[in-house]
Structure 1
Amino acid sequence: MCAQTNQNEKQVLSFSAFLALGFAVGGLTLGWFVGSLVIMFDGVYSLVSLLLTLLSLAASRYIQKPSKSHFPLGKAILEPVVIAIKAITILMIVGYSVHSAALAMFSGGREVDASIATAFGVVNVLGCGYAWWYIANKSKHFSSGLIKAESKQWQMDTLLSVAVTLGFVVAWLMTFTALSGYSVYADPMMMLLMSFYFIKVPFDMLKDAVKELLTMTPNHELCETVDRDIVAVDKEIDQDMDIELAAVTKVGNELRVSVDIHTSREQINTCEIEKTRNALTKRLSKLPLDLQLTMNLAS
């Protein structure tokens, strides 16, 4: 990872941590003040988000420090490890929210001061929405699995805030109708409905992280791009040499490509090998990942 990308990553993660701290303090304080378990839960989620962001920031800084003795192949593997931890933690929070909402549904609902809660919800939605937009926009300009995971984390926080706010609004509107007695069920019902979506996002994060940890084949689009570039280089080089893609994996911010060089000649010039390597590197380096190219002479 280049120095500029590393600096941008640290800035985005620091911004995310600062914002998460504000939402955590605000949610826990207001939730305790008005006696709202939902707002308290939102504050707890923000606090966990802060801890996960600090974990990402620590991992980002540690990855940049040289440590060949402990990580001879580099520290890129730490990125999917951190993402997996974040995904598992978020899944646990979602599971707890489903459990709490289900208990509320079967125990008479949950009544809160809708006016204060709605005002807090609107502020939360705007703040989380801005954080989500800002981080997602930054992730388009440089490749970082940690930043993408951070963006998804804020996406979930935004949607959680929307669900909570809508629950308060619906509960407040229902108090003016003949269904006022059911208004206490609005909030847990919204939480249950949104939880079905929340489960998908961290599950996809965990699935992708595990694939990288097991060095499995990355997504089809990336493999197709690599294969297309190798075929293009194969057409450019000496006709006595054939390049064949042996393996492609993605680990963190590293793209690891292994190719086999086939030739009908008994001997091959070192300059030709170097020329082929340069051609492959030039094409594959256009991808927003750190290229690790391995070339093997095959019989």
Structure 2
Amino acid sequence: MSIGNSPEDERPFEDGRSSDGHEEEARPSVGRALQQARIAAGLTVDDVSSATRVRIAIVHAIEADDFTPCGGDVYARGHIRTLAKAVHTDPAPLLARYDDDHGGRPAPTPAAPLFEAERIRPERRGPNWTAAMVAAIVAVVGFVGFTAFKGGDSDSDAASQVTQGATPSASKPAAPKPSNTTVTPKSDPSDSAIAAAPQDKVTVQVSAVDGRSWISAKDHNGRMLFDGLLKKGESKTFQDSSKVNLILGDAGVIQLYVNGKKIEDDFRPGAVERLTYTKGDPEVG
């Protein structure tokens, strides 16, 4: 089925048989029930994806009873509940059917241990650019202040000579005074972000540079900071006193800056990534 087909093109066979001629089960599977409800509601897969922010590929997989792309039972049950509401059907029987088919309902898991259980390799540590940037700024400010002070002394000497009756020579033009303007080299955007990031907090900037992606962010207490779609070109910044937990729906389009440092990682397009970042030099936990 191609994206954008009308719901009528996806109607099940009216005689209760599948395309290979075998009879369907008396009770449809979870995926078939969602598909039938969507068609009855006059919606396409693209309509459901836009309304729920569940990627089109995942909607297709669920309707085919393939829950692997969901990333686990907890997320699969959440997708089933979301899709059921979008196609105007009761999610409770579908969740019960899913639990029967997959060994029962999963035990509730606190938010923080869920993220900590899926540890991802830590980011390689680099030089401490924060201290170097602060030292450079202090040096520039000191130099500007010193040159301004010396310039003030020169102006005072000149005023004193005029008061005492000294007459400047007309034969020689006055030499131009050296400029006190100090040109500060432009810093890289990542350096500016490093200098701006407070050291007593964890700061995470999420930017959708190559496309749109659903993202979720929680603080160290499990409180939701953001849950929604980040369109291409948009950015969100999250800050917490100790830890920020992320879920990236399509990590391949996302660029991360953590505590002012760009995260260089080879996230695959379409991959769902669950990440945890803490204070200091970025280290995924």
Q: Which structure has greater helix proportion?
A: 1
TM-score normalised over the length of structure 1: 0.28
Q: Which has the higher strand share?
A: 2
